[in-house]
């Protein structure tokens, strides 16, 4: 069965510079999702989100904006903005697990309020022509919470629901609950996607395909950041990396570094940005802890570049 690969939105990582570089150097992703728009009690779209969604900044096959809110007014403001740019679909984030979000009744903290979800969707569909899709966890406290939302969601022309098979309280700890995900498949009449930060290898993807043969849209998250070769290797059904793997990675790295260095002010922001990426990238090196430690110790651009060179020497021997 043919399938579609999607890039899951991760705040601080999957912004347009990363998306463009992944598409340019690796390919394999059919649709990218932008990190969520959040209003923070201000009735306007911040410049950060505007930059990320401007068409001239994005050079990928397909991009879908996302919003995280528990307000119909904010949702509609986001719709009007993304429609003005030409986007037709807006993804609603009911998956974010972080307490600073869930305590405000947003992200996965909203799943337990089906009536509020209903009221928001009712206004959005009454007042706009946007296509709505969802990204959800299975609940915040219990994996059955999502089941109570399905009758509500089925009242509306929801395009799809990408489900992360954990509850919000888990954050990213512990295993995924595939039994509860199967229950969602058995229950929902809306099309479901599998959103899996746990898919980190081609073999792991094959195993998931065997377990859920009806799923034809797969969303890659942390596995894509750690190993951007993963989507193209999944598409080619191979576990063999290209011979020039690390040369490609170096070009990819340098592109991201140069673009962020030109945008961020001062050595500290660029250090923190790249350190965030290396927390994932180091996982593909022979000694992940040592590779990441070398990056963390680099306190200036010259030392950082030397640390990158040293890390690459461990794989280019």
Question: Is 182 marked as a binding-site residue?
Answer: no
Q: How many CA atoms lie within 13 A of 179 on its CB side?
A: 3
In the residue annotation, 96 being an active-site residue is answered as: yes
Residue 66 marked ligand-binding? yes
Classify residue 75 as exposed, middle or buried by CB count within 10 Å of its CB (0-12, 13-18, 19+). buried
What letters, b where the CB count within 10 A reaches 16 and e where it falls short, cover 115-129? eebbebbeebeeebe
Question: Is residue 222 a known part of a binding site?
Answer: yes
Instruction: Report the number of secondary-structure helices (H) and strands (E) in the chain.
Output: 14, 9
Residue of 68, 96, 130, 162 with catalytic role: 96
Neighbours of 1 (CB within 10 A): 7
The reply to whether 135 sits in an annotated binding site is yes
Backbone angles phi, psi at 100, to 5 degrees: -60, -20
Count of C-beta atoms within a 10 Å radius of residue 51: 13
17 annotated ligand-binding residue = no
Binding-site positions read: 66, 135, 164, 221-222
Q: Which residues are catalytic?
A: 96
Binding-site positions for FMN read: 66, 135, 164, 221-222
């Amino acid at each position: 069965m043919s399938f579609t690969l999607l890039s899951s939105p991760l705040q601080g990582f999957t912004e347009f510079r990363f998306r463009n570089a992944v598409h340019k150097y690796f390919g394999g992703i059919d649709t990218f999702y932008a990190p969520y728009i959040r209003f923070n009690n201000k009735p306007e779209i911040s410049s950060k989100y505007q930059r990320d969604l401007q068409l001239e900044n994005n050079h990928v096959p397909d991009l879908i904006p996302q919003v995280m809110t528990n307000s119909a007014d904010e949702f509609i403001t986001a719709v009007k903005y993304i429609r003005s740019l030409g986007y037709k679909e807006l993804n609603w984030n009911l998956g974010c697990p972080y307490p600073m979000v869930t305590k405000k009744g947003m992200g996965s903290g909203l799943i337990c309020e089906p009536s509020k979800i209903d009221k928001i969707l009712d206004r959005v569909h009454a007042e706009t022509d946007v296509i709505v899709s969802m990204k959800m966890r299975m609940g915040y406290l219990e994996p059955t919470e999502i089941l109570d939302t399905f009758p509500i969601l089925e009242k509306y022309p929801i395009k799809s629901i990408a489900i992360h098979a954990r509850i919000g309280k888990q954050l990213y700890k512990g295993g995924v609950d595939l039994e509860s995900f199967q229950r969602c498949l058995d229950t929902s009449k809306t099309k479901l996607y599998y959103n899996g930060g746990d898919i980190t290898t081609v073999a792991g993807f094959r195993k998931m395909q065997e377990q859920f043969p009806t799923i034809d849209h797969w969303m890659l998250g942390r596995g894509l950041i750690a190993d951007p070769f993963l989507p193209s290797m999944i598409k080619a059904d191979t576990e063999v990396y290209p011979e020039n793997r690390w040369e490609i990675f170096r070009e990819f790295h340098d592109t991201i570094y140069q673009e962020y260095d030109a945008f961020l002010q001062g050595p500290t922001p660029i250090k923190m940005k790249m350190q965030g990426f290396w927390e994932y990238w180091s996982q593909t090196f022979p000694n992940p802890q040592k590779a990441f430690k070398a990056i963390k110790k680099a306190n200036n651009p010259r030392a950082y570049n030397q640390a990158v060179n040293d890390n690459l020497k461990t794989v280019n021997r």
